[in-house]
Structure 1
Amino acid sequence: MILEAIEKRYSVRHYKDQPVEEDKLAEVLEAARLAPSGSNLQPWKLVVVRDRATIRSMVHAIGGQQFVEQAAVLIVACMNGEGYNIGHRYDGAVVDITIALDHVTLQAASMGLGTCWLGNYDGNEVRALLDIPSGNPVVIILALGYPDESHPHRPGPRKPLDELVCWENFTG
């Protein structure tokens, strides 16, 4: 069942003019809440944006990507505290937030909703628009809504498993 959601999920850039029901939105947010995090710190705060005027005002901050206006919801994921980082060379909070939002994308796909990861944004502008404190950097933004099927999805190629996985030792 999970593999089905993974296979369904793709970056949606065309959305129907249809709001996401409260119960469905609650379910996708619950998927984020249940996501694992290092030492269970859950170092995130999700700002859920549904107001049409606010979403329109955010288009410029999100790299001018016009399709963002079509999304029923934007989920702005911010750091809220530090992640678990003992001796690692990565930011545990960023990893944890990414896991939480991936849970959101898969839950959304399983419910017939679509998402798109938005990494091209001006964090300062987004923070100003949403009154996000400077101590809570924006990590990623996720568009959410009902996919417009009149724009068919054509999946891109994926590398074969043997190019992505090696056994016991790293090989070229």
Structure 2
Amino acid sequence: MELQQVVENRRSIRKFKSDSVSEKHIHELIEAARLAPSGTNLQPTRYIIIKSEEAREQLKGCTPLPFVSQAPVTIVALIDKQSVMSQGNRMKELREAEAFVDTPLDKANESSEDYSKRRATLDENAIKAYLTLNAAIAIDHITLKATDLGLGTCWVMMFDKEKLHSMLNIDDRYEAVALIPVGYPDQDPAQRPRLQLEEILLKEV
């Protein structure tokens, strides 16, 4: 599917067929997320795949939205809160890959230890917001790739984080930020209302 068609066809799907999603397609979705850009190539997003009947049954107790557990697959997107401490190493990798050639960043030579110390002084909420913003980019890659594969998704943030973490035995270093039910659509919703271009383009200067 052409990119423009993918962008135009993507919908939030809340009704799924019972058909299973192949391992190949699941892998392609996570691979699309893996290739997503992130600030200083931090790559803070992690994933848990929920697809067994037992796990899907347990998922019902974590969200009030029935379609999440009715989907044959649900991807849990999480942020690794400790990933920010690796920013120095990620920057070093980018320099070695010559990503910063002809930019001021190519001259900066802050060590991994310096980055760690600087990050340690940042507000916890600011760090979480930064990591979540990066996760959002990866999640959008998943939703677009799913559309390309003929699959439907819905970006869900209505869930009980404590119950979900307990159910999946998630380590404290990780925090779930979204559930993404995935399956073959059993509905064909119309395009959602969108603001006109002139309403969102404030100015050109």
Q: TM-score, normalised by structure 1?
A: 0.89
- State the percentage of identical aligned residues: 33
Instruction: Note if 1:98 corresponds to 2:136.
Output: yes
> By how many angstroms is 1:145 displaced?
0.7
Moved over 3 A (4+): 82-90
Give the gaps of 5 or more residues in structure 1: none
What amino acid does structure 1 have at the position aligned with 2:28? E
CA contact (8 A) 1:82 1:92 kept: no
CA contact (8 A) 1:108 1:115 kept: yes
Instruction: Note if 1:107 corresponds to 2:145.
Output: yes
Give the gaps of 5 or more residues in structure 2: 88-117
> By how many angstroms is 1:72 displaced?
1.2
Which residue does 2:182 correspond to in 1? Answer: 144
String of CA shifts for 1:5-50, please: whole Å, max 9, x gaps.
Answer: 1111111111010111111111111000000011111012101111
Which residue does 1:132 correspond to in 2? Answer: 170
Taking the aligned partners of 1:60 and 1:3, their CA distance within structure 2 comes to: 38
Instruction: Note if 1:158 corresponds to 2:202.
Output: no
Which residue does 1:17 correspond to in 2? Answer: 18
CA contact (8 A) 1:56 1:69 kept: yes
Taking the aligned partners of 1:13 and 1:35, their CA distance within structure 2 comes to: 25
1:43-54 residue pairs with structure 2 within 5 A? 43-54=44-55
What amino acid does structure 1 have at the position aligned with 2:166? A
CA contact (8 A) 2:69 2:181 kept: no
Greater C-alpha radius of gyration: 2
Taking the aligned partners of 2:70 and 2:62, their CA distance within structure 1 comes to: 15
> By how many angstroms is 1:82 displaced?
4.2
> By how many angstroms is 1:134 displaced?
2.1
Residue-pair matches, total: 166
Instruction: Note if 1:70 corresponds to 2:70.
Output: yes
Taking the aligned partners of 1:141 and 1:69, their CA distance within structure 2 comes to: 10
Q: RMSD across aligned C-alpha pairs, in angstroms?
A: 2.1
Comparing both chains, which one has the higher relative contact order based on Cα–Cα distances under 8 Å and sequence gaps of 6 or more? Answer: 2
